[in-house]
Amino acid sequence: MTKLKKLTQNEYFAFDVLAAVLGAALVVFLLCTAKYGVSAPDEGYYYTVAHRLSLGEKMIADEWNLAQLVHLMNLLPNLLYIKLTDGTEGLILFMRYLFIAIVAIYYVWLYIKLRRYKGWGVAAAFLFCAVIQQTLLTIAYFTAAPMAALAVCLILTDGKEHGAFTLLFTGVVMAFGILAEPFLILIFLLWFALTLLREMRVKKGAAFGDAAGLLRGRVFIWTTAGAVAVFVPYMAYLLLSGSFEGIGAALPYLASGEEYNSENLIDFSKFIGAAALQSPVFVLGTAACTAAAAAVRFKKSLGLRAKRIVFLCACAFLAGGYLYGLIHTFSGRDPETWVAFLQYNNFTLMLFSPTLWLLCDKKTPRLFALWLIGVLFSVLVDVSSTVILASGGGLVRTACILQLPVLLRELRDPTVSSKGNEPKKNVLSKGTRAAQSFLAVCAAAALLWNGGYFAMETVQKPWEFLFYSEPMDCNLTKGPWKGLRTNRSVQRFYYDTLEDLDAILAKDPERAPVCVLSLFPFDYLYMNVPYGAYSAWYEYDEPQRLAAYWLLRPKQQPAFIYVPHYDMYSYQRLTDAEINEKLEGLEEYVEGERTEGKAGTIIRVTALRLPAENGRKE
């Protein structure tokens, strides 16, 4: 007995060392690559709300964007950085390093929670943390929300009797997850309904099962109390700071605009794009295997052989879709394909995952809960964002990895042999050895897929790679992008833009609001003046909405409007026709003197012709 215990400890030690080596390698790699590549529009935007607050502006009242709730998590470090450095110079690189530190801490905690799964736990923790950044080293809805959801699920389903403090802390984490992705409130309501149902059934003496404690009333109450402890002061801050000032008139505009289509929340064309990325053949094959697994599940007479065939076919289709998408993406420079690789990277996995649960006789409640939350999370992200199935897929992948060893044990085909008085030995049959080799190939395909995704976001820097063939050997020495390395073309665009912004500041000694008519958040961070727009997230040409904002928020009426001449994603110069189209959209509402800068048009506003009827657009 003692010998067995010693062997187990040695085994855990080996996996501890492996986890430490992989974690250290990941952190070192991220630190070495963090400075490469300029800030995407999303990354810069996540810091603009904190910047607005540092200028005395208000959340919600001044910022018309539903995604702003996630900024609560970036608020404190942003404000501290702005206060300590007296500005935003170098802010982006600092926040990248901060996020790497957060990922490192989370990785250690995650491995400790998954340590019982040995090598599978190492793989799950490493893969989750390696690709969680989704091309951006920052706290955002697609990074913070899945990290919070995974943490809550692992704590509440670990089978332990948690004390009030642990449950309160779990509730705090849950609150941050919901703030990052408000649609997660629907999963919370589902949890409440299931907990209430279980409590009612338990009182009647009916067996319901508690999913390892997840559905217990005490757990729900204390966890909810922790969440309320975050939401109450947050709402108090919003009320006391005047964030709801004029909310009645502004409410119709908060959820309006090109990005919010109330008539068609779920864009089914996304699913078509996801299927095209990983080949309709492999996608349909994976879905067919899920249907076959359901048939095997409900017709048990088909036996173990049918289970093996269905599982191996599902693995083959999944691996085929991975390899097809990987080769298709990295063999060309088509931006749409690369964006699809980023946004739809877990689509086939979502179709594959039910196969594991249907074929496996022994289901762990905590893994099933994790899988279900991952699926629901992915669907909700599809409703609220273009990042379909990318974020929640990390939860699904973790559940699949941890469920695999259970299913593989059930599918083993040992041949029992013995000679004389020798003890019986389990000898794997040729078929089982062949199946293991086949699964190793499929696992290699999965690792290549995740490795390709990781390479794209941390090494390839997709936007520079797609639009430029120049090396990233230029250091940026001022502004929010200070410390980053990019190519010569982007460096020229950046410095030309800062020169135009300096010209605006020279003409504006009173630091009146400035409006940037494109999605370039770093412009606002650099100028350090009030925002003359409803948000730094101005992706589409929406002059009517902008004019309504100026009418409802007179203090934000701009003294200058800056119209960049570059594309917001590729940083390549627009055509003259595209530039004129942007300028013509303003003519109905703005009068002013135009000056051509190096990277855009500067408009000194002399008059605003704003819409009537309380600012409502006709």
The Cα diameter of the chain in Å comes to 102
At 469 the pLDDT is 83
How far is the C-alpha of 141 from the C-alpha of 121, rounded, in Å? 25
The contacts of residue 536 (CB under 8 Å, 6+ apart) are: 44, 45, 48, 516, 519, 521, 524
Structural domain boundaries enclosing 216: 143-241
Contact yes or no for 581/541 (Cβ under 8 A): yes
- Residue 522 domain-assigned (yes or no): yes
* Coil, helix or strand at residue 89: coil
Pairing of strands 600-608, 560-564: antiparallel
- Which pair of structure tokens corresponds to residue 371? 């899988």
Query: Which residues are registered as beta bridge partners of 607?
Result: 591
Q: Out of 177, 207, 241, pick the residue that ends a domain.
A: 241
The torsion defined by the Cα of 275, 276, 278 and 281, in degrees rounded to 10, comes to 80
Q: From its phi and psi, is residue 476 left (phi > 0), alpha (psi between -120 and 50) or beta?
A: beta
Pairing mode of beta strands 560-564, 514-516: parallel
Given 241, 262, 278, the domain boundary residue is 241
Cα distance between residue 558 and residue 448, in whole Å: 50
In a domain, 362, yes or no: no
Indicate the pTM of the whole model.
0.89
Task: Answer left, alpha or beta for residue 355, where phi above 0 means left and psi between -120 and 50 means alpha.
Answer: alpha
Asked, for residue 387, whether it belongs to a domain, the answer is no
In the block, tokens 């505009």 appear at 253
User: What is the DSSP-derived secondary structure letter of residue 416?
Assistant: E
pLDDT (0 to 100) of residue 4: 35
Task: Enumerate residue ranges in the chain where pLDDT < 70.
Answer: 1-10, 202-213, 255-268, 301, 382-391, 413-429, 431, 612-618
User: Any residues with CB less than 8 A from the CB of 202 and at least 6 apart, and which?
Assistant: 208
The answer to the question of residue 188 being in a domain is: yes
Looking at the DSSP assignment, which residues form a beta bridge with residue 595? 602
Among left, alpha and beta (phi > 0; psi -120 to 50; other), residue 59 is: beta
Domain count, the chain: 2
- Give phi and psi for 279, each to the nearest 5: 75, 125
Q: What is the pLDDT of residue 591?
A: 92
pLDDT at position 467 is 84
| Cα 274 to Cα 393: distance, rounded to the nearest angstrom | 13
CB 568 within 8 A of CB 539: yes
- Alpha helices (H) along 417-474: 430-455, 462-467
Q: Which amino acid is at 571?
A: Y
DSSP 554: G
pLDDT for the residue 290: 93
Residue 566 C-alpha from the chain's centroid: 27
Residue 575 CB contacts under 8 Å (≥ 6 apart), including other chains: none
* Residue 51 domain-assigned (yes or no): no
Residue 424 confidence (pLDDT): 52
Q: CA–CA distance from 532 to each of 218, 525, 595 (Å)?
A: 49, 13, 19
The whole-chain average pLDDT of the chain stands at 84
- Residue 203 is assigned to a structural domain of this protein: yes
Give pLDDT tens digits for 5-64: 444 566 788 899 999 999 999 999 999 999 998 877 888 888 998 899 889 899 889 998
List phi, psi (to 5°) of 475.
-90, 135
Backbone phi, psi, residue 568, to 5°: -75, -20
Instruction: Please tell me the total number of residues recorded for the chain in this structure.
Output: 618
- End-of-domain residue from the set 172, 207, 241: 241
3-state secondary structure of 581: helix
d(CA 256, CA 247): 14
Q: How many CB atoms lie under 10 A from the CB of residue 265?
A: 10
Residue 502 counted as domain residue: yes
DSSP 39: P
Assess if residue 332 is contained within a domain: no
